[in-house]
């Protein structure tokens, strides 16, 4: 390890108490999505960017900070500010930032405020070591990742508010770099039926129905659910060849039927039913072909059933991504990982959906790092982050920028 690398890591270790204190503060600011109230956390993060001397701006509550140091490549640091709702069942204050046994508790402590804290203090360490950047470093703290990223990462990239050559995206498990990402689809099925008295004019086939008979939207959704269950069983037959981190053993594609709504009274034929589901795929699968299968199945159902009134919405559809492990950026991340953990660690696969695809689809090479573990209770009660993982993520951000932007004293 070069002497300057050691100085960067030592500097971060010296800032340990400051990092912990800042992370407690940012966890104490609610930023649940919904209800999408981000003004306070955006101001707080913007102040932190300004304190580093960054050229800072806030666009639709997304916070962006820049350091421009020359003609080299542009590296984007990424973390997201929004969290899922706190939900119930906590034994700790979800906005308390309480420290217990080396853990910081709170909604977003791991997902994903840890990455926002890490990118800030990684940058601070580099600046305090007076390292010159050969290129540009952009810090981002975005919103709306938990609901697809349309007002966050997608908006910033679409409007060219941020542009870059590579993105180190902080939203992944700890201990490894992630160079392989699964694909994903969000699908909403909406079936409209006909409301009627469920006992007097139920949904029955001829010759038992007449012009007053109902059309049961919930019953018609059963075929969709059965199709999705068959798809899920099919997915179990193929495992990915890409390595996954310890504790993350879902090595197959999956279908998650997440929400279903319909009906309003036990004696009434339901005239509407909504089914929301997500489909996550391994890199070996083609998301476009799965989309086509779903739409083809729906069209066939409509031909078979003249009473079927159904619409299908797919607001999020993206393909898996696999990095070039020999690229300069991948080598920079590999060097950073070696510097933090004192050993070589291979790139792993991360299946859950993130904002990575927004960057990848625009030709920005993207590798994920993070601080989460399978026991961190992400999206559940008593979410926490291990302090050591928070510190290590900070070091990974710093050393990646050091290597990729060829920083010199």
Residue-range domains of the chain with CATH:
3-181+320-404 (3.40.630.10), 183-318 (3.30.70.360)
- Residue 267 burial (CB < 10 Å; 0-12/13-18/19+)? exposed
Task: For residue 230, give the 3-state DSSP assignment.
Answer: helix
Q: What is the pLDDT of residues 87-134, one digit of tens each?
A: 999 999 999 999 999 999 999 999 999 999 999 999 999 999 999 999
| Residue 189, C-beta contacts closer than 8 angstroms, at least 6 positions apart | 221, 224, 274, 275, 277, 310, 311, 312
Q: For residues 231 and 228, what is the distance between their CA atoms, to the nearest angstrom?
A: 5
Q: What is the pLDDT of residues 189-238, one digit of tens each?
A: 999 999 999 999 999 999 999 999 999 999 999 999 999 999 999 999 99
Question: What Å distances lie between residue 181 and 280, 286, 327, CA to CA?
Answer: 10, 13, 17
Question: What Å distances lie between residue 351 and 119, 320, 342, CA to CA?
Answer: 23, 9, 26
- Would you say residue 1 has pLDDT above 80? no
Let me know: does 203 contact 324? Beta carbons within 8 Å.
no
Entry pTM: 0.93
DSSP annotation of 319 reads -
How confident is the model at residue 299, as a pLDDT?
98
């Amino acid at each position: 390890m070069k002497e300057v690398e050691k100085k960067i890591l030592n500097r971060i270790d010296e800032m340990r108490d400051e990092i912990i204190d800042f992370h407690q503060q940012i966890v104490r600011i609610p930023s649940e999505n919904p209800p999408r109230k981000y003004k306070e956390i955006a101001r707080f993060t913007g102040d932190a960017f300004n304190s580093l001397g960054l050229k800072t701006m806030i666009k639709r509550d997304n916070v962006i900070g820049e350091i421009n140091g020359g003609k080299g490549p542009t590296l984007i640091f990424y973390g997201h500010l929004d969290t899922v709702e706190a939900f119930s069942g906590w034994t700790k204050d979800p906005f308390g930032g309480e420290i217990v046994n080396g853990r910081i508790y709170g909604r977003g402590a791991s997902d994903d405020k840890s990455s926002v804290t890490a990118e800030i203090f990684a940058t601070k360490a580099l600046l305090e070591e007076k390292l010159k950047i050969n290129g540009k470093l952009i810090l981002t703290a975005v919103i709306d990742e938990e609901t697809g990223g349309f007002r966050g990462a997608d908006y910033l990239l679409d409007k060219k508010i941020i542009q870059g050559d590579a993105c180190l995206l902080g939203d992944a498990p700890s201990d490894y770099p992630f160079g392989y990402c699964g694909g994903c689809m969000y699908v909403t099925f909406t079936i409209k039926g006909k409301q009627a008295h469920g006992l007097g004019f139920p949904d029955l086939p001829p010759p038992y129905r007449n012009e007053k008979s109902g059309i049961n939207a919930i019953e018609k959704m059963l075929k969709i659910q059965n199709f999705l269950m068959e798809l899920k069983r099919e997915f179990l037959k193929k495992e990915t060849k890409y390595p996954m981190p310890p504790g993350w053993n879902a090595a197959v594609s999956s279908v998650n039927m997440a929400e279903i709504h319909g009906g309003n009274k036990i004696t009434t034929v339901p005239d509407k039913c909504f089914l929301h589901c997500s489909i996550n795929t391994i890199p070996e699968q083609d998301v476009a072909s799965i989309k086509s299968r779903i739409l083809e199945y729906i069209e066939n159902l409509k031909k078979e059933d003249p009473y079927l009134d159904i619409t299908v919405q797919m607001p999020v559809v993206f393909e898996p991504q696999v990095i070039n492990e020999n690229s300069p950026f991948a080598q920079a991340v590999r060097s950073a990982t070696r510097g933090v953990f004192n050993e070589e660690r291979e790139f792993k696969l991360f299946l859950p959906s993130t904002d990575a695809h927004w960057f990848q689809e625009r030709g920005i090479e993207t590798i994920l790092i993070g601080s989460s573990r399978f026991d961190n209770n992400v999206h559940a009660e008593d979410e926490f982050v291990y302090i050591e993982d928070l510190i290590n993520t900070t070091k990974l951000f710093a050393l990646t920028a050091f290597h990729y932007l060829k920083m010199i004293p």
